[in-house]
Structures are given as structure tokens and as C-alpha cells.
Amino acid sequence: MQIPHSKRTLANGLDVIVHEDHRLPMVAVNIWYHVGSKNERPGRTGFAHLFEHLMFEGSEHHDHGYFPPLQRAGGQLNGSTNADRTNYWEVVPSGALDLALWMESDRMGYLLPALSEKKFSNQRDVVLNERRQNYENRPYGLAGMALSAAMFPPDHPYHWLTIGSADDLRAASLDQVREFFQTYYHPANASLSLAGDVDSEQAFDLAERYFGGLPAGPAVERVRAEAKLAANATLVLEDRVELPRLYISWHSPAMFASDDAELDVVADVLTHGKTSRLYKSLVYERRVATDVSAYQHSREMGGLFQIASTASAGVSLTELHTAILTAVAELGAHGPTASELERGLAQTEAQFIYRLQTVGGFGGKGDQLNAYNTFADDPGYFDRDRQRYFDVTSKAAAAAVNKWLVHAPSVSLSVVPKGRRDLALPGAEEVHVS
Amino acid sequence: MTIDRSRLPVPGADRPFHFPRIVRRTLANGLELRAVRHRSVPVVSIVLVVPGGSAVDPAEAHGLVSITAGLLDEGSRGQSALEFADRVARIGGDLDLEAGMDAVVVGLTTLDRFFETGLALVHEIVTAPNLANDDFNRIRNLRLERLKQMKDHAGALAERAYARVLYGSHPYGHLSLGSEAALTSVTLDHVRAMHAAMFAPAGSTLIVVGDRPEEQLLDVAAKMFEPWRAALSAAPIDRDAALLPPPARPAVKLGVVSRPGAAQSELRIGHVCAARSTPDYPALLILNSVLGGDFVSRLNTNLREGKGYTYGVRTGFNLRRGIGPFVMQTSVGTEVTGSAVQESHAEILAIADARPATPEEVAIAFASLSKGYPRGFETAGQVARSVAQLALHNLPDSYFEDFVPRLARITADDVSAAARQYLVPDRMTTLIVGDLDKIDGSLPGLGLGPHQLLTADL
């Protein structure tokens, strides 16, 4: 199984990947810049994402909003930033492909002349509101920040979340925008995919035409950092919530590294669906929790394996903590059953097929080609990615559980209602985030 | 190879697109079948639309329809919920039970080779759910705890309070999840009676979409669903309860739900407006696009891109079988709450009065809505959901083909007329969920009269 494609690299280093799918009269343009919040420094957090906002405010030859011409052409568009990368996409009617490429190439090549203090301060206000809406004003919204801060030392780029600190955002300056653009936004640090109703040769010609003349830009040094917990930590965060919730977090393998797929499978066995071990035990049978979730959050420099569960009214987080660690230990001792693996594979197989349904947008085929190209250095990694899950054995899953979870330190975070620190795990140390 | 950067390339002509062809069949038991052949990856989508929804909830039992729907996959034909979940997982199925205001929708997407199994699973939970006491208690408790958690969520508080102030005791005046008090009083007998009354083949529509000939899709579906019979003992329910007119004048002009220490104020501005059946639907789509439906809309351009008050603002004509609301929603910084409310009112007022939609704005909205229209038919699931909308609102099978030509006939004058008719400033209700102590001072200046404090009860 594959996303059929061809790839060429332009002389300036821009990777171009083309996938033909003519079912809809639409083309998906997707571009990844290999830069994210992990390229930031302490005191300047939140910058990569703030920068993404500025990419929609116009460039030298079209110094107006980025949305109107594309929207008028019937296009849809968006962008997003995470720790490792920033992506931008448009899905446009086939006849508007030139327009989309003109616009993408203009902001890759000519963003700075159109920048102004006014745009910058406006988008900073927008981002501060995004932060309030999605983190500060949302129940449990600050838990992720507290956990990242506890899992990684202050100088490690995964110490902060992509949204950044409000103080750093307020202190950001236009000069930093210029420097950031010059360092990271150029062809040699990007990957462009065109997926959908387009002829491959024509697509490569257009890519060359619009992007080929842009200078390659400086080589970007890969960020490298290691993180390790010295010992278990137990933390408590007060929040405006009704029910206490427990988070447990471990360091885990990087994306596509050995044990990454095993821990994905383990997360599913623990909490995916009613038949998963922890849902069945905590929510379905004992009814001590209202929800439980686990996931292997893998990134370029390393992953986090996290389990979260909200206590039913009157149930102590200690009880959840014990139950979760017991279930993890049990998986370490015996691994998933053959039946669990078989059920998981049926779902994995379907999920990979579902991923072939859309050409564009977040998670569409164009986005996947760029993800594989950027993180696995091979846009054709789809089938190998899938194969990783078919290769998981019970023994290997158990070994991964023992190595990364059972025999490794973790951070436990209790999020409790304001003034109810007594509901946290015993001995929890108070943390403050804002 | 040089590019002309002095002007934007002009898009070429649109390639023609053939919208889904719907093939119908009516079974002897009254169930309507609709099939669409969708040539794509080997995925099938099954959607059953049962009209009614939470608008049918008895006045003393808000949340009944939703919990009844929610119990469908909590055990069936004598097997446990776990056994059922296992069977869905083993076909890689994605099951979705949704109780909206107007309908209960059961959706299942799976791989083509599991089409028959998937249909059997949908059939089983709709016709033979266990509705057992232990499962009922478990699910009701989970829902009560979810309601408790919603008290922490500004958006959920706003949804709940806004439905109540706009609609009062009208069937659209409560959320489908219900309230703590109502859900506590719901019994398993209520659920069983609601299931018997609600889930009947006559009036329901089953939609099947996949890469097989339509007749084959229909044959397989017919074979599975032909034996379905309505319960003999069913007490009648009024599936048209929502067609009752809502209160024309709001009971509250300016409402506040207090959330001390909130980082933002959650806003709702709007009024009850129109039913989905209004002939002005295409004009309202364009009006909405210009006013607040798109990123480039007037409201988003002003409040986000101009003033930085918010991460984003949206409007919608949430048209339903009965009269649905027009609502603007956004979250804004606490300190700019008063100004954001004022700007919002000014934009809504202007489009219905001093600054009507220009031909240029109408052209952009039309282009955006029409040229992007095929995008909504990419996956089997999207096609099935679109056909479900036709079924729910009694729209013709030619609807998708007719959509763009109908939209193309709308002029700037039509949009202005629609704005004057459907946006009535003195009927607007403004709701703020935020830190009352901090915003209190800015409220009198809004010209909306004294504010009314609303409780956060859920």
C-alpha cells in the first residue's frame, strides 16, 4: 500500500513531491518548513507559531491578506506549528494552482518587505487571545505546560509548548522576525507537495517556475538535546475544574525509532475503545474514572508516553494511580494477548486506508507525503510506517513497556479544583504555570 | 522562466464535476433507502437518519433522546457493550451515535469488505439494544459527570445559557445532553418507551455509500433492514414538536454568566431567525459569508485582523427543521469585552442598514461557496452526511446539482433584503460568560439596558 508519487529536488534544495489523484477537480498544495518551537530559545518561546501567523499577512508583491485571493478562487487554506515543523496548505480548484503557487512562493521569497510593526503587534494580540482561549480559559488547559516543564530541563527545547509564554510573546520584536525568516524560511529547509488533479510533469514545471529562482538559504543546523528524568516526581496544579485528573508521563522513543510503534500499540491496548484494559477496568467495571486515555507522543528528538484519567466524584487519584501502574506492569510482565494484537491490527489497517481518502488539508495525502519526507527522509515511507505495526509482537511490546515505563522514572501530575490540594497524590509539590 | 510578480495569476476555468447520483428505494416497512456509488478507496459509509432528535425530549426529561441514542451501543441482542465494541473494532469500524436537535443519526464507516457486517451491526443496535438497567446507570452517571465538567468550560456554559434565553421552554431551548436535574429523573422505563417510539422504519432513511453499483448497495441494505418493524406498544411522539414557533422577543437582552478570574469573555449575539426550509436560504449563505462565516468576513477582519480582540469570530444561521437561530460567537480578552460587543453589534447593524453587502463582497462569497463546493464530496462519509441532510430536510435528489445555479442568482440586493429581514437589531440577545467584576463598568455603555445575571446551572 502506498501513496503513489514522484519526487525531485530543485537546484536550490526544495524538495518537490507530486501525487496524482483526479477524482475531484482540486489540487492540494502543501508546504513544510523544518522549523518549530524546538528551534526557539528560552526567553523567546512562542516565536515559531507567532511567525506562522505573519505568513498570512501579505508579502512584497501581494501586500494584503493572504486569504482573499485564494478564497475568491474557491480555495481553502490553513497552517499550523508544532515543536518540530510548520506546515501551510491550500486546497484549490485545479485552475487556481498557479495562483496558489504564486502566493506560496511569494511569501517564501519575499515576506520581509511587507512586514510592519502594525501587523506584528496585531498578530501578537491575536496569538495572546489564542493562548487564552485554548490554554488559560480551558479546563485542564495548563496541564500540558506543567508536564513539559517537568519532563525537560529549562534549556531543552521541549521544555515549553509551541504556544510559548505570554511574557515572551509580549517581549518579541520585529527584528527577531527578520532573523527567524532568514534562518529558516528558504527552499533548502522546505518540502513542497502537490497532490490531486494535476499532471506530474506539469506540476514539476510549475514548482520550478515559481520556486526555482529563490536562493537556497543557509543550512539549518539540527537541534540536538537529550532529556532524562533523575527520579519520579509528583506534582499538583490547581485549576478551575470540577473533577480531579491524574496525568502520568514518561520519556519514550522518538518518532519512527525502535519501540515507537510498540508503544503506540501499548497505548491502544490500554485505553483505545471500551475493550481496552484501562477503560474496561476503570470506567466500565469499577466506575472509578469518567475517562482514561494513553498515547505515545513521538517527536523528532524523543517522545513522551502519557496516560491521563479523570476521577469519578469521590474517588481518590491514588486509587487511579495504583490501578494504572498495575495495568502497565501487567503488560510488561505478559505483553498484549494475541486477540488484543489482532484487534489492534484490524483497526490499524483500516486507519491507514482511511488516511488515503483526502488529498489535502491537515492529515491529507499531501500532508503525509511531506511528513514522511521531512521526518523519515522518504515520502514513500507510508507502507513501511504501516508495516511497523504489523511487525509488533507481544514480546517486543512487553519489552518496550519494561524498558520505557516500568523501569523508568515518571512525572505524576494531579490537576485539582482550586483550594483542593488535598485531592492530589500524597506528597505532591505545587507547580505554577500561567 | 521568470514570473510576473506584478499581478496575481488569474485562475483558469473550473473543470466540470459530477455530483453524487442518488438512487432510491422504499422498503415495505416504510424505510427509505438511498445509495450513492463513490469511486474511491475501498471504504463504505452507512448512515441512518431517524427524525426527531432532542427536540422530542419531554419537558420534564431533557436529555432522554440523547441517552437513549447513547445506549444503543451499550449492549445488544443479549451481548455486552464490550462484545459489541469488540465486533466494531475487528472490522476497523468507526461508529458514531449522534442525537442532534432534529434527528438521531447513527453512522458507521468501515472497509468495503465488511459492508455486510457493518450493516448488521447498525441494524442490531437500532432494533435490539439491551437497554439494561446496569448499563443505563453507568451511562447516566458518565453523562452527569460530563455535565458537571461542562461547568468548567466557558463555551459549554454559553451554549447552554444561550439556548435557554433564546428559546425558553421551546423544544430547542435545551442541549441534547439535558441537565443534571432532568437526567437524574430519567428512568430506564422512559428510555425503553422512547426507544420504542423513536426508532421506527417509516420516516427513517438509511444511506449507503461505497464503491459498488447502487443496486448492489441497495440490495444488501434491503435484505438486512426489511425485517425491521416498529414496536407495537409504541406511544406516539411528536416528531414535529420543534415546528412550534419560538418566542419572538427575547426574555433577556443582555445576560451575563459570571466566571470570576476568567482570562477571556465568551460572547454570543443573535436571535431566533429562520427554518431550513426558507426560500431565502441561498441568500442567507452569502450574507453569512460576508458578515462572519469566512476568515475574510467583515467581523473577523475587524475584530481579529484589525483590533486583535480575538483568535477568531464566526457567525452562523443555524437553520433547522423548526426556526433556528442566527448566532455570532467569539472569545475575547476580558479587558476589551465591552468594545468587542459594541463592534459586533455595529457590524451586524451596518450590514442590515448603512453598509449593505457590496456586489464585490457578494461576488467573493459566491465564488468561495461555489468553486469550493466539490470539496465536500471527497470521502464516502462526506457524501453520506450530505445525503442525510437532504433526507432530513426533504430536499430533492437534484439538490447538489442545483446548488451553484441557485446561488448564482443571488444579487447584492437580495443579500441586503435578507439582511434587513433576518437580522433585527432590537431583537438581539447578547450573552457574556466572563469575569463580571472586571467587565461590569463597560456594560452600561453598551446601550443594551441593565444586564441580567444568569446562573451557571447545568
- Judge whether A219 lies within some domain: no
The minimum CA-CA distance between A239 and chain B, rounded to whole Å, is 10
In the numeric block, the cell 508544532 is attached to: A82
Q: A268, A274, A281, A345: which to substitute to probe chain B, counting the most B Cβ within 10 Å?
A: A274
- Judge whether A218 lies within some domain: no
CATH number at residue A356: 3.30.830.10
Please check whether residues A324 and A359 belong to one and the same domain: yes
- Domains, chain B, in order of start with CATH, read 23-239 (3.30.830.10), 254-454 (3.30.830.10)
How do residues B126-138 score in pLDDT, each as one tens digit? 999 999 999 999 9
Q: In A43-142, which residue ranges form alpha helices assigned H by DSSP? A: 47-54, 67-72, 97-109, 117-131
Please name the residue of chain A whose CA is at the shortest distance from the CA of residue B140. Answer: A290
The minimum CA-CA distance between A221 and chain B, rounded to whole Å, is 31
- Judge whether A396 lies within some domain: yes
Q: What's the mean pLDDT in A388-400?
A: 98
Q: Which residues pair with B310 in a beta bridge?
A: B332
Please check whether residues A422 and A292 belong to one and the same domain: yes
State residue B233's pLDDT score.
81
Torsion on CA atoms B441, B445, B446, B450, rounded to nearest 10: 70
- Judge whether A99 lies within some domain: yes
Please check whether residues A272 and A167 belong to one and the same domain: no
Q: Which three three-digit cell numbers place residue A314?
A: 469521590
**Of B425, B283, B284, B410, the residue nearest B353 (C-alpha):** B425
Q: What's the mean pLDDT in A280-306?
A: 98
CB within 8 Å: A242 and B148:
yes
How do residues B51-67 score in pLDDT, each as one tens digit? 999 999 999 999 999 99
Is it the case that residue B1 has pLDDT exceeding 60?
no
Mean pLDDT (chain B, rounded): 96
Of the candidates A125, A197, A342, the beta carbon closest to that of B15 is on: A197
**Of B131, B85, B185, B179, the residue nearest A284 (C-alpha):** B85
* B333 contact residues in A (CB cutoff 8 A): 125, 128-129, 132
CB within 8 Å: B379 and A240:
no
Please check whether residues A117 and A167 belong to one and the same domain: yes
Show Cβ contacts of residue B46 under 8 Å, excluding neighbours closer than 6 positions.
B107, B108, B109, B110, B115, B118, B119, B122, B206, B207, B208, B209, B221, B384
Please check whether residues A205 and A239 belong to one and the same domain: no
How do residues A36-55 score in pLDDT, each as one tens digit? 999 999 999 999 999 999 99
Please check whether residues A128 and A268 belong to one and the same domain: no
Q: What's the mean pLDDT in B390-404?
A: 97
**Of B448, B450, B452, B443, the residue nearest B426 (C-alpha):** B448
State residue A101's pLDDT score.
98
Q: A76, A240, A265, A268: which to substitute to probe chain B, counting the most B Cβ within 10 Å?
A: A240
Q: Is residue A326 within a helix (H) or strand (E), and if so which, with residue range?
A: helix A317-334
Of the candidates B2, B16, B41, the beta carbon closest to that of A357 is on: B41
CB within 8 Å: A96 and B295:
no
Please check whether residues A16 and A160 belong to one and the same domain: yes
Is it the case that residue A329 has pLDDT exceeding 90?
yes
Last residue of a domain, one of A211, A243, A278: A211
State residue B107's pLDDT score.
98
State residue B457's pLDDT score.
72
State residue B326's pLDDT score.
98
- Judge whether A67 lies within some domain: yes
The minimum CA-CA distance between A283 and chain B, rounded to whole Å, is 9
Q: What's the mean pLDDT in A150-172?
A: 97
SS3 per residue for chain B: CCCCCCCCCCCCCCCCCCCCCCEEEECCCCCEEEEEECCCCCEEEEEEEEECHHHHCCCCCCCHHHHHHHCCCCEECCEEHHHHHHHHHHCCCEEEEEECCCEEEEEEEEEHHHHHHHHHHHHHHHHCECCCHHHHHHHHHHHHHHHHHHCCCHHHHHHHHHHHHHHCCCCCCCCCCCCHHHHHHCCHHHHHHHHHHHCCCCCCEEEEEECCCHHHHHHHHHHHHCCCCCCCCCCCCCCCHHHCCCCCCCCCCEEEEECCCCCEEEEEEEEEEEECCCCCHHHHHHHHHHHHHCCCCHHHHHHHHHCCCEEEEEEEECCECCCEEEEEEEEEEHHHHHHHHHHHHHHHHHHCCCCCCCHHHHHHHHHHHHHCHHHHHCCHHHHHHHHHHHHHCCCCCCHHHHHHHHHHCCCHHHHHHHHHHHCCHHHCEEEEEECHHHHHHHCHHHCCCCCEEECCCC
CB within 8 Å: A26 and B110:
no
Last residue of a domain, one of A177, A211, A245: A211
Is it the case that residue A333 has pLDDT exceeding 90?
yes
State residue A1's pLDDT score.
86
Q: A60, A78, A133: which to substitute to probe chain B, counting the most B Cβ within 10 Å?
A: A133
Last residue of a domain, one of A146, A181, A211: A211
Q: Is residue A178 within a helix (H) or strand (E), and if so which, with residue range?
A: helix A174-184
State residue A233's pLDDT score.
98
Size of chain B, expressed as the number of residues it contains? 458
- Judge whether A332 lies within some domain: yes
N-term to C-term CA, chain B? 64
* A340 contact residues in B (CB cutoff 8 A): none
Amino acid residing at A225: A
The confidence band for B456, taking pLDDT boundaries of 50, 70 and 90, is: confident
**Of A351, A332, A316, A136, the residue nearest A250 (C-alpha):** A332
- Judge whether A174 lies within some domain: yes
In the numeric block, the cell 442490531 is attached to: B124
Q: Alpha carbon of B183 to those of B98, B101, B175: distances in Å? A: 17, 17, 12
Is it the case that residue B458 has pLDDT exceeding 80?
no
Handedness of CA A134, A137, A139, A142 (dihedral sign): positive
Show Cβ contacts of residue A114 under 8 Å, excluding neighbours closer than 6 positions.
A57, A58, A59, A60, A63
CB within 8 Å: A129 and B332:
yes
Provide the domain count of chain A: 2
How do residues B72-96 score in pLDDT, each as one tens digit? 999 999 999 999 999 999 999 999 9
Q: Is the separation of the CB atoms in B47 and B104 below 8 Å?
A: no
Supply φ then ψ for residue A303, to 5 degrees.
-120, 175
How do residues B149-197 score in pLDDT, each as one tens digit? 999 899 999 999 999 999 999 999 999 999 999 999 999 999 999 999 9
CB within 8 Å: B43 and A139:
no
Is it the case that residue B232 has pLDDT exceeding 90?
no
- Judge whether A143 lies within some domain: yes
The minimum CA-CA distance between A68 and chain B, rounded to whole Å, is 6
CB within 8 Å: A274 and B264:
no
CB within 8 Å: A129 and B264:
yes
Please check whether residues A418 and A289 belong to one and the same domain: yes
Q: Give the distance from CA B174 to its chain's centroid.
A: 14
CB within 8 Å: B331 and A129:
yes
Give the residue numbers spanning the domain of A24: 6-211
* A137 contact residues in B (CB cutoff 8 A): 154, 262-264, 266, 331
* A128 contact residues in B (CB cutoff 8 A): 333
pTM of the model: 0.96
Please check whether residues A270 and A385 belong to one and the same domain: yes
Q: What's the mean pLDDT in A65-93?
A: 97
Is it the case that residue A146 has pLDDT exceeding 90?
yes
Please check whether residues A120 and A237 belong to one and the same domain: no
- ipTM of this predicted structure: 0.95
Q: What's the mean pLDDT in A356-362?
A: 97
Q: A55, A72, A279, A291: which to substitute to probe chain B, counting the most B Cβ within 10 Å?
A: A72
Q: Interhelix angle for A260-271 vs A382-390, to 10°?
A: 60
Please check whether residues A284 and A151 belong to one and the same domain: no
Taking the C-alpha atoms of residue B439 and residue B266, their distance in angstroms, rounded to an integer, is 12
Please check whether residues A290 and A353 belong to one and the same domain: yes
CB within 8 Å: A72 and B110:
no
Taking the C-alpha atoms of residue B271 and residue B327, their distance in angstroms, rounded to an integer, is 7
